[in-house]
Every structure is written in structure tokens, then in C-alpha cells.
Structure 1
Amino acid sequence: MIAFLVLIGIVAVYGQDLTDGHHHHHSCIHNNQQQLKATQVITSVIADMEKDGDGIVEQTEVKTEFVTKYDKDMSGDVSEDEFVKQWHQRYHDEHDFAGYLFHHFDANDDLKLTDSDVVALEKGLDTDGDGRVSVAEFQTYLTNLYTNCVPSHGN
């Protein structure tokens, strides 16, 4: 319960209105072209990321899944457009919802996903303070994004 409360606090801080000139208006209502439920998508995301089955979502696993695989132009970072297209293709969530997710993963709100975003996410998601992000911590984070409309950075 304490971990959940800490996570809610983190989401509240990261979800605050940061008026830095970036305005992202994406729907946080989950729509999926194949009528997949949020839990089904989240299960797929975790299965794609957590390959070694140790119950820990390592930075390298997140980087491989969301930075390396999604960086189609090989620029070293992932633009919103790249992310939305890849997320939609893989998980079938509507483009607008995928954009909403992108802005939550873009921890520093620079409109691209990089290794530094992965590091920042890890720090924010490690709710028990053990220096690692468990599958349960990552799943709680995604579940919150899918089921509770949390404004993204800059809204």
C-alpha cells in the first residue's frame, strides 16, 4: 500500500502542469484497434521488455525495447512520431493514446526518448527504493497511465 501511495505521489509530481512552452494534447482514453484491454497490452509490453524473466525491468531492457527498436531513423533518440507509429503497430493502441504515453515516457519533456529518459523513469518508478524497478512497479505505472487519466508533461 505504501508503494502504491508513493507511486501516486510520483505520478502527481510528474503529471503537473509544467508550462515550458510545449503543449501536448493527447487523449488519455485507451482505445485499441483490436479491442485489446489495457491489461492485455500491459502484459505484452512487459513480456517484450523483460526478456530474462528475473522480475526486474533493467535499464538495458527498457532502452532496447523503447529506444533502440523504435529509433527507425537511427538518430540515437526516438521522436514522438517514431514512438507513436511503433507503439501503434506493435500494441494496436490508437495514435492519440500512444502520443499520451510518449509524453509520460519523455521524462525531461524534450520531445524525444533517449537513455536519459530511461534513467529518469527508473528513478521515478523505483517506489520501494531498492535501486531496481520490479515488474510489479512497472506494471503499476503502466496500469495507472492506462486507467487513470493523468495529464502529461506540459499540458
Structure 2
Amino acid sequence: MIAFLVLIGSVAVYGQGQSQGHAHAHNHSCIHNNHQQLQADQVIISVIADMEKDGDGIVEQTEVEKEFVEKYDHDKSGDVSEDEFVKQWHQQYHDAPDFAGYLFHHFDSNDDHKLSAIDIVNFVKSADADGNGRVSIAEFQAFLTNLYVNCVPSHYSHGR
């Protein structure tokens, strides 16, 4: 429901990283590391291409469900565990497992350790920056970019 998977607009809505007291207090790395050396924007373009199949420029809730629940729910339980998400995201987009876990916990809006229909609804609402009830590709891209970008400062501030 990623992928996941975080929009422009206000730091209060989008800047929910670990350094800002995010409710998800998990020990996942916020350092973007991609095993194929893909940059964040390249991964995000791939996520959008995988999700927005009908070419209408809108990332619909059904498209998010199809991408993240159908592809990621390996045990067919109806929701996606963190393990399922991390393995699939890593396999599909080559981001490091720790970073995929970081994304999972941003998509798991109710912190129940699984991605389900309620998380998808909340994800779509969060990504709808202009509040018109529809998530444009630009809004979706900005949402994901925010997750990747808000992650990077943690790397630089702790790494130097």
C-alpha cells in the first residue's frame, strides 16, 4: 500500500519520520540503500509504472490494492505481513530490507503490523494532497519522494 507508499504539502502530514516522533517506533534503517544502485526517483518511477496501469493519471485505491495486496500477500491471508512486504519490495525494487521495513511502517497506518484495506484507505487519503478525493501521479510521486527524502537526512546527520 506502498510502495506502501507520503506527500508534499505540510511537514505535519508528511514529515512523520523517526526524528519527528512518528508513532511507529521500530528499529528500521532510514538509509536508502538499493542493491541495484537505483536512485530513489528511479524506484519511485518503477512503483508508479507498476501501479498506475490504466493510464488515466490517477492512482486509484483499487490499483494500490491490486499492487500491494495481490502481489505482496504471499500466504493469501487477505493482508500483508511485514515479512511479506519486505521480501516482495526488496525483490521487486531492490531496496535494502531495512529500508523496506521503514516503508512498511509508514504504510501501516494503524500500527497493527500488517497492511490491510484500512491501511490502503488511509494511504490514499494521505497521498491526496489537494483533498479532491483522487490521487494524481504527481501527488503519489511526491508522497513517495517525501518518504525517501525524509529518510536521507537521518543518514547524513548520523553518518558524519
Alignment TM-score, normalising by the size of structure 1: 0.87
| Partner in structure 2 of residue 12 of structure 1 | 15
What amino acid sits opposite 1:16 in the alignment? G
Q: CA deviation at 1:47?
A: 0.2
In the alignment, is the contact (CA less than 8 A) between 2:73 and 2:84 conserved in 1?
yes
Trace 1:111-122 onto structure 2 (pairs within 5 A): 111-122=113-124
| Partner in structure 2 of residue 127 of structure 1 | 129
| Partner in structure 2 of residue 90 of structure 1 | 92
Q: CA deviation at 1:23?
A: 3.8
CA distance in 1, matches of 2:146, 2:94: 19
SS in 1 for 2:151: coil
Q: CA deviation at 1:13?
A: 5.5
SS in 2 for 1:69: helix
| Partner in structure 1 of residue 102 of structure 2 | 100
SS in 2 for 1:24: coil
Trace 1:1-155 onto structure 2 (pairs within 5 A): 4-6=8-10, 8-12=11-15, 16-18=21-23, 23-149=25-151
Tell me the number of residue pairs that the alignment of Structure 1 and Structure 2 aligns.
Answer: 145
Q: CA deviation at 1:4?
A: 3.1
Provide the alpha-carbon RMSD of the alignment: 1.9
Give percent identity, aligned residues only.
Answer: 68
CA distance in 1, matches of 2:129, 2:151: 20
> Which consecutive residues of structure 1, in runs of 5 or more, have no partner in the other structure?
none
CA distance in 1, matches of 2:99, 2:30: 6
Alignment TM-score, normalising by the size of structure 2: 0.84
> Which consecutive residues of structure 2, in runs of 5 or more, have no partner in the other structure?
1-6, 155-160
CA distance in 1, matches of 2:130, 2:25: 32
Q: CA deviation at 1:134?
A: 0.8
**Aligned structure 1 segments of 4 or more residues deviating by more than 3 angstroms:** 12-17
CA distance in 2, matches of 1:88, 1:65: 14
In the alignment, is the contact (CA less than 8 A) between 2:79 and 2:116 conserved in 1?
yes
What amino acid sits opposite 1:4 in the alignment? I
CA distance in 1, matches of 2:22, 2:137: 28
